[in-house]
Amino acid sequence: MSDVEPPTPSLWGRIVGFGGLPLLSMVTPLLVMPLLARRVDPAGWASIGAGEALGALFGLVISYGWHSIGPARVPPLTTDAARATLYRESLVVRLTLAAAVLPVLGVVAWVTARDGWQVMTLLMALSTATVPLSLSWFAVGSGRADHIALYETFPRVGAAAVSAAVMVATGWLYVYPILATVVPLVGMTLFSIRLLHASPGPWPPLRSVGTLLRRDVVPALNELAAGGYAALPLPLVNQVAAADVSAAYASADKLYRYGLFVPGALANIFQRWVIEAGPEHIGARLRRALRYHALLGVLGLVILTAAGPLASALLFGEAVVAAREICFVLGLAFAVNAVRTGITRLVLFPAGRVAVILRSTLLGGVSGSVLVAVLAVTVGPVGAAAGLFASEVVMAGLLLTATREVLASHREGAGQPGRDRA
């Protein structure tokens, strides 16, 4: 069976394959973080969190929109050769950007770290900045959850387990960020060799990189603006607050960031499922998927508010317990983000409404970044979290009109609303 004709899983099969596997891969650090948190002081814990946040920010540049728009580009391609060409384009773009921005990240991470934690902060930043080199966008678009399992999830879990064992046995902390960087890159390389060897073809010349960058500048700017403001609070708090306060915020921020993987995984579940629907059912499937995203948002708010402090104490230690008020505000931000992720990934991007997405993201991201910076300095950690929430509200609010229009067009295109029985 070719890669173009994968088996068609049920919705529950998609939940396990395209939601559960990437989610398991992303939360695998929870195998290691409890050990790490108990082997560093508050200054180290805050610096580690700041490094991860900076890596996530620079990783958005490397991703260049491929993880948002890439999955929808795969299904229309009907041959393995065409899909391999698309994959080559993504590699050329992302590797070129990685070569350009990773040295800058190294300098920023080193300067941001607290004294004595520069190397660890740098390594943690690299471990998160290289995540966007992942093959998951292509696997989701191809309907191949087994590729995610084989080349990403299992290697990440194995690397985390080895890291935990080494830290317990030797106390050497650097093993975790090193393996968290190297092992996924090895998996991505092996997958790329397999895919491209099976469908040989020319690589895009370097002179075409500029054309490819211009083609995808809108989704790239959207991802950068949407994620950039979210990466700012922790590094800012690390600079303006005492070490113990920064460490407590880092614990809440870490729970929030682990939670943010879930809306993305849920969108992965529904992305191809929605695309496969005929005109009669696509509107019903979209509304059903958005209801799940809204339910996820409410559930995340309740869990983070009610269990965040206890979870942070159990995971990271009593010395760096997350404050409940910060967990509540970040929970509000999570609830809005869950809905916004469903709207952008499932409704507006596939409908070609990229301009409204970019406009909302830029306005929300810029205003949010300013609010985060001002409130972090004037109010403190709660203010930084409030700026994050305000930015999410602005971005989501600016998308509502376009979302209603797209959903209404699907209803009219079907002739009648109808129930999706798929």
Q: How confident is the prediction for the chain on average, in pLDDT?
A: 84
Q: Is residue 42 part of a domain?
A: yes
User: H helices within 38-149, ranges in order?
Assistant: 42-63, 66-73, 80-112, 118-129, 136-142, 145-148
Q: How confident is the model at residue 13 (pLDDT cuts 50, 70, 90)?
A: low
List the domain range (segments joined by +) for residue 253.
11-413
Q: Which of 7-11, 47-51, 292-296 has the highest mean pLDDT?
A: 292-296
Q: What is the mean pLDDT of residues 185-211?
A: 90
Q: Which of 332, 317, 321, 366 is nearest to 259 (CA)?
A: 332
CA–CA dist 116, 167 (Å, integer): 19
Indicate whether 289 pLDDT > 60.
yes
CA–CA dist 67, 22 (Å, integer): 12
User: What pLDDT does residue 304 have?
Assistant: 95
Query: What is the number of domains present in the chain?
Result: 1
Q: How confident is the model at residue 1 (pLDDT cuts 50, 70, 90)?
A: very low
CA–CA dist 317, 345 (Å, integer): 36
Indicate whether 10 pLDDT > 80.
no
Alpha carbon dihedral 217, 223, 229, 234, in 10-degree steps, equals -130
Is residue 254 within 8 A of residue 316, CB to CB? The reply is: yes
CB atoms within 10 A of CB 313: 15
Which residue has tokens 């002179």? Answer: 207
CA–CA dist 301, 332 (Å, integer): 6
Q: What is the pLDDT of residues 369-389, one digit of tens each?
A: 788 878 887 888 888 889 889
Q: Which residue has the higher pLDDT, 131 or 268?
A: 131
* 7-11, 261-265, 313-317, 404-408, range with the lowest pLDDT: 7-11
Prediction pTM value: 0.74
The 3-state DSSP class for residue 228 equals helix
Indicate whether 29 pLDDT > 60.
yes
Indicate whether 420 pLDDT > 70.
no
User: What pLDDT does residue 396 have?
Assistant: 93
User: What pLDDT does residue 342 have?
Assistant: 92
Q: What is the pLDDT of residues 149-192, one digit of tens each?
A: 889 888 988 999 899 999 999 989 999 999 999 999 999 999 99
Q: How confident is the model at residue 124 (pLDDT cuts 50, 70, 90)?
A: very high
Q: Is residue 189 part of a domain?
A: yes
Q: What is the mean pLDDT of residues 122-143?
A: 90
User: What pLDDT does residue 410 have?
Assistant: 76
DSSP 266-282: HHHHHHHHHHTS-TTTH
Q: Is residue 333 part of a domain?
A: yes
Q: Is residue 125 part of a domain?
A: yes
Indicate whether 418 pLDDT > 60.
no
Per-residue exposure over 92-115, b if at least 16 CB sit within 10 Å of its own CB, e if not: bbbebbbeebbeebbebbeebbbe
Indicate whether 415 pLDDT > 60.
no
Q: What is the pLDDT of residues 248-280, one digit of tens each?
A: 888 898 889 888 888 887 887 777 677 666 666
* 18-32, 97-111, 260-274, 361-375, range with the lowest pLDDT: 18-32
Reported residue count of the chain is 422
Residue type, 57: L
Q: Is residue 5 part of a domain?
A: no
User: What pLDDT does residue 338 have?
Assistant: 95
Q: Is residue 22 part of a domain?
A: yes
Q: At what angle do helices 400-413 and 282-316 cross, to 10 degrees?
A: 140
Q: What is the mean pLDDT of residues 291-314?
A: 94
Q: Which residue has the higher pLDDT, 326 or 276?
A: 326
User: What pLDDT does residue 337 have?
Assistant: 94
Q: What is the mean pLDDT of residues 71-85?
A: 88
The 3-state DSSP class for residue 416 equals coil
Q: How confident is the model at residue 416 (pLDDT cuts 50, 70, 90)?
A: very low
Indicate whether 407 pLDDT > 50.
yes
User: What pLDDT does residue 343 have?
Assistant: 93
Q: Is residue 4 part of a domain?
A: no
Tokens describing residue 324: 């409940």
Indicate whether 314 pLDDT > 80.
yes
User: What pLDDT does residue 417 have?
Assistant: 40
User: What pLDDT does residue 106 have?
Assistant: 94
Q: What is the mean pLDDT of residues 399-421?
A: 69
User: What pLDDT does residue 421 have?
Assistant: 38
Q: Which residues contact 257 (CB under 8 A, 6 or more apart)?
A: 52, 53, 56
Q: What is the mean pLDDT of residues 392-396?
A: 92
Q: With pLDDT > 70 as the criterion, what percentage of the chain qualifies?
A: 89
Q: Is residue 172 part of a domain?
A: yes
Residue type, 422: A
Indicate whether 12 pLDDT > 60.
no
User: What pLDDT does residue 259 have?
Assistant: 87
Residue type, 243: A
Which residue has tokens 């998609």? Answer: 14
